[in-house]
C-alpha cells in the first residue's frame, strides 16, 4: 500500500516537473516497449501479455530510475529478441539497440538527482555524445554477424567470443565487489 | 561510518546486460543479443576502468554568518580528492520561508558546477542551513553519498523598512548629543540675544547688537543633548501568519521590523538604544550607542520567539527608564499588561508612545473550530482592545499604527511640546 502511495504521489508531483525531466521519463517508459514491438517487423510480434509486462516494468523504471526495474525491463526485451526465430539479424534489431540505449541513458540521467530538477545541459550533451559513440559498434557487430552467418568461420568466431565473454563477466564480477574506499587522509 | 563509493544502478544495469548478453549470445549462438547488448557493455567498461580509488572530503561554508531577511548568501562547497568525481548533486534541506536557488536549492551538474547554491531566508530569525551531497564517478559508474555535511547556522536580521523621522526627541538630557535641548547651553542653535551677564563668555558677545544698543549683549544658544530610546517589544503572542519579506506580516513581524527600523534610526542619530522584550524568549539589551551596539540589538531581535502562553511573564514587567529616554512600546495591544505598562509610564511623565502592530486585515485562522464561536471570541477580543486604546487615549498616551517613515513624528512633536509645559505632580 505504501509503495502504491509513493507511486501515486510521484504521479501527482509530475505536474511540477520541468520539461526535460518529463522527456526523460517519457523515453524510459516508451523506449523498452518500442524496442519490443520492433521485433514484430522482424517477424515475431510479441503477445500482449509480454508487452504489458515490459510496459509495466518500464513504468516502474521511470518512477524509480535507480531500481532494478530498468534492468528487468531491458532484459525482458533482450530475452524476447532471442525468440525471434526467422531472422534475428533483421535490420530492425539496430533500431531496438538504439531504443535500449536511449532508455538506459535516460534512466542514468534521471537517477542523477531529484525528479523536479531540469537536466543539466552539460550532462545531457555529454551522455548523448557517449551514447551515440558506443552505438556505433552495433552496426559493426551486426554486419560481422550477418557476414559470418552460415559460414565455416562462424564456429571459431563464437569460440573466441565465448572466451571474451567469460573474461568480461569475470572482470565485471570482480569490479562490482568494490573494496573499501581508501581514505586520502584529509579530514573534514 | 564514512561513506563509500558504490556501484550505481546504471552501472549494474549496463554491466549485467552487457556481460550477460555477451555470454548468452556466445553460449546460445544468438547474434541479435550481441547487437543489442554490446553497446551497453561498452558503456560499462570505462566506468569500471575508472572506478574511484579515493574517498573525497567535502566541506560547506556560508559566505556570511548573518544577513538581512530577503538577502541571499552563497553556500559554497569545497572538495578535496575530487579526481574521480564527474558529477555532483546538491539538495538543500527544505525549510519554511527559506528560498534556495537554483531550482529550489537543487543542483545536478558536472563537476565542478558552474554555480553554488544560494540561500535566501525570507524571515528574520535563526536558520540552520543544511544540504545533502552525492557524487558520481566517471561514466556514472559509482556513487558516493548522499552525505550531509555539517549544518551552517545563519542569523537573519530583520529588514528595517524605510524609516526616517524629523521630530526631535521629547526630552533629551545629558551633556553632549545631537538633539536640541529646551535649555540654553553650548550649542549651535540660536536661542536668543540678551544683555551681558557676569560669567558669559566673551566670544559670545554680539558686537553688532552691542554697538547699536550701547550695552553689551551676548548671543545665547540651546544646548545639544543626547537622548535615549527604550524599545519595548511585546512577545506575549503572535497574531496572523507570516509570509516572509514581501508577503503577509504577522504582528510579530511588524513588531520586530519596526523595532529594527527605530533602532537603526536612533543609532544613526547617535542616541542610546535599549531593548526590552516582554514575554516570549528573548534577551534584553541595555542602553548603548554605535554601530556595534546596533548589531547587538538587531541580533537580539533576530532571536525573539513568541511566548507559549499570552500570559507569560507579563506580570513581571518592570521597566527602568533613565532620564532623557523615550519609551516606544511595540505591541498588538491584545494583552492587558502592555496597556497597563504604557499607562503607568505616561502617568510617571515619561515620554511614551505605543506603536500598534496588529495587522489590519487580521482574521482568526482556526478552521477546525466552530466559526461562529471563533468570530464571537475575536469580536470580544477586539472590544477589549478598543477599551485599552480608549483608556490610553484618555490619559494622553499616543497610540499610532506602524506605517514606516514618519510614524512617530506627530506624536513626538506633541510630547516635546508637552514636555516644555510646567507639570503638576500630584
Nearest Cβ partner for B35 among A142, A178, A187:
A142
Per-residue model confidence as pLDDT tens digits over A13-23: 777 788 899 99
Cell triple for B192: 536668543
The per-residue pLDDT for range A87-114, each reduced to its tens digit, is 567 888 899 999 999 999 999 999 998 8
B401 and B354 Cβ atoms separated by less than 8 Å? no
pLDDT value of residue B272? 86
A1: closest CA of chain B, how far (Å) = 25
- Reference B57, options B133, B138, B139, B151; nearest CA is B133
Q: Which residues of chain B have pLDDT under 50?
A: none
**B56 to chain A: closest CA residue:** A184
CA distances to A19, A126, A130, A175, B23 from A103, rounded to whole Å, are 17, 16, 14, 24, 22
Cβ–Cβ gap B108/A81 under 8 Å: no
Burial of B123: CB neighbours in 10 Å, binned 0-12, 13-18, 19+: buried
Q: Which residues in chain A have their CB less than 8 angstroms from residue B33's CB?
A: 78, 81-82
Q: Does B142 touch chain A (CB under 8 A)?
A: yes
Residue to substitute from B31, B58, B59, B135, interface A, most A β-carbons within 10 A: B31
Looking at residue A142, what is its pLDDT? 86
Q: Residue B10: what pLDDT?
A: 93
Residue of A nearest to B89 (CA): A113
Banded model confidence at residue A61, pLDDT cuts 50, 70, 90: very high
Q: Measured between alpha carbons, how far is A63 from B78 in angstroms, rounded to an integer? A: 32
Peptide bond into A55 cis (omega under 30): no
Amino acid B188: pLDDT: 67
The ipTM assigned to this model is 0.83
Residue A86: pLDDT above 60?
no
Query: How far apart are alpha carbons B395 and A92 in whole angstroms?
Result: 94
In this complex, is the C-beta atom of A48 within 8 Å of any C-beta atom belonging to chain B?
Answer: no
Q: Please provide the size of chain A in residues.
A: 188
Question: Residue B344: CA atoms inside 13 Å, Cβ hemisphere, count?
Answer: 12
Hey, is the C-beta of A16 within 8 angstroms of any chain B C-beta? no
- For chain A, the C-alpha Rg in angstroms (whole number) is 20
Can you give the C-alpha Rg of chain B in angstroms? Answer: 33
Do the chains contact at A126 and B136, CB–CB below 8 Å?
no
φ, ψ for residue B152, nearest 5 deg: -115, 120
Chain-chain contact of A117 with B19 (C-beta, under 8 angstroms):
no
Asked whether residue A56 carries a pLDDT value surpassing 90, the answer given is: yes
Chain A with chain B: Cβ pairs closer than 8 A: 208
User: What SS3 state is found at B184?
Assistant: strand
Q: What is the pLDDT of residue B225?
A: 58
Question: Do residues B152 and B61 make contact, with C-beta atoms less than 8 angstroms apart?
Answer: yes
* pLDDT value of position B19: 87
Contact across the interface for A134 and B43, Cβ inside 8 Å: yes
Evaluate if residue A162 carries a pLDDT over 70. Answer: no
Give the C-alpha separation, B52 to B145, whole Å: 13
| CB-based contact B335:B236 (threshold 8 Å) | yes
Instruction: Determine the distance in angstroms separating the CA of B361 from the nearest CA of chain A, rounded to an integer.
Output: 32
Q: Are B356 and B332 in contact (CB under 8 A)?
A: yes
* pLDDT tens readout for residues B331-348: 988 888 888 888 888 888
* Interchain contact B99–A (C-beta under 8 A): no
Amino acid at each position: 500500500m505504501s509503495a502504491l502511495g509513493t507511486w501515486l504521489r510521484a504521479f501527482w508531483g509530475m505536474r511540477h516537473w520541468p520539461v526535460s525531466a518529463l522527456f526523460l521519463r517519457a523515453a524510459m517508459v516508451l523506449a523498452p516497449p518500442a524496442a519490443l514491438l520492433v521485433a514484430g517487423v522482424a517477424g515475431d510480434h510479441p503477445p500482449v501479455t509480454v508487452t504489458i509486462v515490459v510496459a509495466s516494468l518500464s513504468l516502474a523504471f521511470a518512477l524509480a530510475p535507480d531500481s532494478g526495474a530498468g534492468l528487468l525491463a531491458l532484459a525482458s526485451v533482450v530475452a524476447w529478441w532471442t525468440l525471434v526465430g526467422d531472422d534475428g539479424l533483421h535490420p530492425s534489431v539496430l533500431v531496438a539497440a538504439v531504443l535500449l540505449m536511449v532508455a538506459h541513458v535516460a534512466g542514468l540521467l534521471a537517477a542523477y538527482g531529484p525528479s523536479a530538477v531540469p537536466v543539466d545541459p552539460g550532462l545531457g550533451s555529454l551522455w548523448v555524445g557517449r551514447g551515440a559513440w558506443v552505438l556505433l559498434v552495433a552496426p559493426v557487430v551486426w554486419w560481422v554477424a550477418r557476414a559470418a552467418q552460415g559460414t565455416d568461420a562462424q564456429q571459431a568466431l563464437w569460440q573466441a567470443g565465448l572466451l571474451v565473454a567469460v573474461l568480461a563477466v569475470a572482470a565485471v564480477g570482480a569490479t562490482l565487489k568494490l573494496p573499501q574506499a581508501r581514505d586520502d587522509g584529509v579530514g573534514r | 561510518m564514512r561513506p563509500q563509493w558504490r556501484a550505481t544502478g546504471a552501472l549494474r544495469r549496463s554491466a549485467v546486460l552487457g556481460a550477460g548478453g555477451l555470454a548468452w549470445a556466445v553460449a546460445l549462438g544468438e547474434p541479435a543479443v550481441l547487437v543489442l547488448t554490446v553497446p551497453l557493455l561498452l558503456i560499462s567498461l570505462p566506468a569500471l576502468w575508472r572506478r574511484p580509488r579515493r574517498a573525497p572530503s567535502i566541506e560547506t561554508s556560508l559566505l556570511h554568518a548573518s544577513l538581512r531577511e530577503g538577502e541571499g548568501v552563497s553556500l559554497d562547497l569545497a572538495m578535496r580528492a575530487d579526481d574521480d568525481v564527474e558529477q555532483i548533486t546538491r539538495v538543500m534541506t527544505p525549510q519554511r520561508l527559506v528560498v534556495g536557488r537554483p531550482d529550489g536549492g537543487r543542483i545536478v551538474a558536472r563537476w565542478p558546477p558552474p554555480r553554488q547554491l544560494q540561500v535566501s531566508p525570507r524571515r528574520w530569525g535563526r536558520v540552520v542551513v543544511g544540504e545533502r551531497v552525492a557524487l558520481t564517478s566517471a561514466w556514472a559508474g559509482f556513487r558516493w553519498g548522499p552525505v550531509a555535511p555539517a549544518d551552517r547556522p545563519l542569523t537573519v536580521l530583520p529588514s528595517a523598512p524605510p524609516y526616517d523621522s524629523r521630530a526631535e526627541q521629547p526630552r533629551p538630557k545629558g551633556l553632549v548629543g545631537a538633539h536640541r535641548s529646551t535649555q540654553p547651553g553650548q550649542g549651535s542653535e540660536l536661542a536668543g540675544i540678551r544683555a551681558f551677564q557676569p560669567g558669559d563668555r566673551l566670544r559670545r558677545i554680539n558686537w553688532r547688537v552691542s554697538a547699536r544698543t550701547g550695552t553689551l549683549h551676548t548671543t545665547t544658544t540651546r544646548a545639544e543633548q543626547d537622548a535615549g530610546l527604550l524599545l519595548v517589544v511585546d512577545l506575549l503572542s503572535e497574531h496572523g501568519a507570516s509570509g516572509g519579506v514581501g508577503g503577509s506580516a504577522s504582528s510579530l513581524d511588524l513588531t520586530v521590523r519596526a523595532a529594527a527600523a527605530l533602532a537603526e534610526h536612533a543609532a544613526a542619530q547617535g542616541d542610546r538604544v535599549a531593548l526590552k522584550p516582554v514575554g516570549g524568549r528573548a534577551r534584553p539589551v541595555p542602553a548603548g550607542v554605535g554601530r556595534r551596539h546596533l548589531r547587538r540589538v538587531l541580533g537580539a531581535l533576530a532571536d525573539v520567539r513568541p511566548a507559549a502562553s499570552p500570559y507569560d511573564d507579563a506580570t513581571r514587567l518592570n521597566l527602568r527608564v533613565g532620564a532623557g529616554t523615550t519609551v516606544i512600546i511595540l505591541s498588538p495591544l491584545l494583552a492587558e499588561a502592555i496597556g497597563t505598562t504604557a499607562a503607568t509610564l505616561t502617568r510617571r511623565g515619561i515620554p511614551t508612545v505605543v506603536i500598534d502592530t496588529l495587522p489590519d486585515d487580521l482574521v482568526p485562522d482556526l478552521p477546525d473550530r466552530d466559526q461562529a464561536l471563533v468570530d464571537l471570541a475575536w469580536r470580544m477580543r477586539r472590544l477589549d482592545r478598543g477599551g485599552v486604546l480608549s483608556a490610553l487615549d484618555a490619559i494622553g498616551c499616543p497610540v499610532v499604527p506602524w506605517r514606516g517613515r514618519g510614524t512617530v513624528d506627530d506624536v513626538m512633536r506633541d510630547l516635546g511640546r508637552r514636555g516644555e509645559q510646567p507639570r503638576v505632580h500630584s
